[in-house]
Amino acid sequence: MKFVSTRGIAESCTFEDAVLAGLASDGGLYVPEELPHFSVDTISSWSQLTYEDLAVNIMYPFVEAEISKKSLEAIIKKSYSVFRNSDIAPMLEFRNNNWILELFHGPTLAFKDFALQFLGNLLDHIVESREEKLVVLGATSGDTGSAAIEGCQDCRNIDIFILHPHNRVSEVQRRQMTTIKNKNVHNIAINGNFDDCQAIVKKAFSNQSFLKGERRLIAVNSINFARILAQIVYYFWSYLRVGCPKDGIVYSVPTGNFGDVYAGYLALKMGLPVKKLLVATNSNDILHRCINNNDHSPKKVNASLAPSMDIMISSNFERLLFDAYERDANLIRDMMKRVSTQTVMLTNNALSRIRENFWSYRSSDDEIVEMIRAYFKNFNYTLDPHTAIGMSASLEYRKSCECPIVTLATADPSKFPDISNQTFLERPELPPHLQSILKNPEYFSILNNSQLEVENFIIQKIFD
Ligand SMILES: *Cc1c(COP(=O)(O)O)cnc(C)c1O
């Protein structure tokens, strides 16, 4: 399968090259030139498959030119063996055809494990045959760092370095990263804030010469296509669990960088009978404003009760715009120059193409608290603040729709226990297997906010 850049200057490339590159050299994002397509009959015939076997069927057409089916099976098996629920992604049905798809049974209790377990094992496999070694480098303010470390810790050909702002992430989030003591895992606490960490990572990518040409630097942020690919699977999975509704299905997706809901859009394009994708945002609502009012204007990020969705610009939205503008890369390239500083207006055609498949809803912090309280009262079920946003969108959309609605539950409530100060519900406890991280020794190095210090640290760790 060939991959093309949304900005049209970088040459098209293979799946493996798109994964290793992350971002295209022209600053664009890679998207498949064409998608595989499955009929509803074919999809329905998969209803007895395990999650892993279903994942092979869905992912294989994307990789078949480069990765054997056997290898793909092994990568998928290894990735999902660490999940704590035998269904991998269990489904619960509530009143009125409302469903919850629990995506938080991976090692770090958030849906990012689906993508980052797969990406770690995939990268390890790709470079094994090329006899290369990789350096994964990232900055984290919370969820992504721990999921990336969990995904890479057992990879033989990968060293992973994750920067976090010293004393500025929650204790649980820090300990999820720092209590892993594998030799290839390196936690760096920077004397600075998250933006300082991110700036160091960005500069390191633009100046890879410090690795002396002997290692390739890899970003594992949400624009990597392999992450999107892994996320397509659970849309098919949940359609099958609902019983293959002939009239279609609606998904409600708590959205930040638009990666997860874009995976749902690809599932739709691949033949899944998706009626609508609900884009559920918090008060950082650029996507809601864009879809609802054609107002894609950047605003300062404010800290909401759903911190993993606090973004100014959604990077993966570029992939959808590329389709909405009928793959006119010149136009996208021009538009993306302005997107982080100016208001971008979509054409009526582009907007109506988007609205065919998407609908949006925004929740305030007050609404998040209300929804968690209401859901607990009605169903004795605790939503995490991100999932509560998805649920609000579902219940609003329900007023005009009778078909099954699946809300993606993106995190375990025990990851965000502090909200209990506002909901006045019991503080959710970490599951037993994570209690130990509160006691285990931590491994991390504290460095100054200095490019040189970080680069020297990396060199010393990988070449000694
Ligand atoms: C990252 C994250 C999201 C947002 O996902 P995107 O793919 O960036 O839209 C939602 N909820 C949780 C818990 C997350 O960690």
Per-residue pLDDT of the chain (464 residues), as tens digits, is 999 999 999 999 999 999 999 999 999 999 999 999 999 999 999 999 999 999 999 999 999 999 999 999 999 999 999 999 999 999 999 988 999 999 999 999 999 999 999 999 999 999 998 889 999 999 987 789 999 999 999 999 999 999 999 998 888 889 999 999 999 999 999 999 888 998 899 899 888 889 888 899 998 888 999 999 999 999 999 999 999 999 999 999 999 999 999 999 999 999 999 999 999 999 999 999 999 999 999 999 888 999 999 988 899 999 999 999 999 999 999 999 999 899 999 999 999 999 999 999 999 999 999 999 999 999 999 999 999 999 999 999 999 999 999 999 999 999 999 999 999 999 999 998 888 898 999 999 999 999 999 999 999 999 87
Question: Against a cut of 0.85, is the pTM above it?
Answer: yes
* 412 in the same domain as 364: yes
The pLDDT of residue 222 is 85
* 355 in the same domain as 251: yes
Q: Which atom of ligand 1 is nearest to the CA of 259?
A: 7
What residue owns the CA closest to ligand 1's atom 14? 308
* 280 in the same domain as 203: no
SS3 205: helix
* 312 in the same domain as 207: no
144 C-alpha vs ligand 1 centroid, how far in Å?
9
How big, in percent rounded to 5, are the helix, strand and coil portions of the chain?
45, 15, 35
* 406 in the same domain as 337: yes
112 is catalytic: yes
* 100 in the same domain as 163: no
What residue owns the CA closest to ligand 1's atom 2? 308
- Tokens representing residue 406 in the block: 């699946």
Is 39 part of any domain?
no
* 381 in the same domain as 326: yes
* 352 in the same domain as 292: yes
The answer to whether 174 touches 237, Cβ cutoff 8 Å, is: no
What residue owns the CA closest to ligand 1's atom 15? 308
247 C-alpha vs ligand 1 centroid, how far in Å?
28
212 C-alpha vs ligand 1 centroid, how far in Å?
35
Is 384 part of any domain?
yes
* 265 in the same domain as 395: yes
139 C-alpha vs ligand 1 centroid, how far in Å?
16
303 C-alpha vs ligand 1 centroid, how far in Å?
15
Residue type, 368: I
Residue 209's domain comprises 132-221+432-464
- Tokens representing residue 388 in the block: 């509560």
* CATH code (residue 175): 3.40.50.1100
Is 464 part of any domain?
yes
* 214 in the same domain as 183: yes
| 295/298 Cα distance (integer angstroms) | 9
Residue type, 24: A
Determine the residue of 386, 389, 408, 414 to mutate for testing ligand 1's pocket, defined as the one with the most ligand atoms within 8 A of the Cβ atom: 386
| 264/60 Cα distance (integer angstroms) | 17
Phi, psi dihedrals of residue 242, rounded to the nearest 5°: -75, -10
* 385 in the same domain as 447: no
- Tokens representing residue 405 in the block: 């609605």
Q: Name residues contacting ligand 1 (CB within 6 A).
A: 110, 112, 143, 222, 254-260, 308-309, 386, 410-411
* 261 in the same domain as 208: no
> Cα angle at 179 between 173 and 184, to 5 degrees?
110
Determine the residue of 309, 389, 392, 415 to mutate for testing ligand 1's pocket, defined as the one with the most ligand atoms within 8 A of the Cβ atom: 309
Q: Helix count (H) and strand count (E) of the chain?
A: 19, 13
The pLDDT of residue 171 is 85
The pLDDT of residue 21 is 92
255 C-alpha vs ligand 1 centroid, how far in Å?
6
Q: Which atom of ligand 1 is nearest to the CA of 415?
A: 13
Domains contained in the chain, number:
2
Is 6 part of any domain?
no
The pLDDT of residue 194 is 85
Is 208 part of any domain?
yes
455 C-alpha vs ligand 1 centroid, how far in Å?
29
Residues facing 138 on adjacent strands: 162
Determine the residue of 100, 111, 225, 286 to mutate for testing ligand 1's pocket, defined as the one with the most ligand atoms within 8 A of the Cβ atom: 111
What residue owns the CA closest to ligand 1's atom 8? 257
Give the active site residue among 78, 112, 203, 337: 112
Q: Which atom of ligand 1 is nearest to the CA of 311?
A: 8
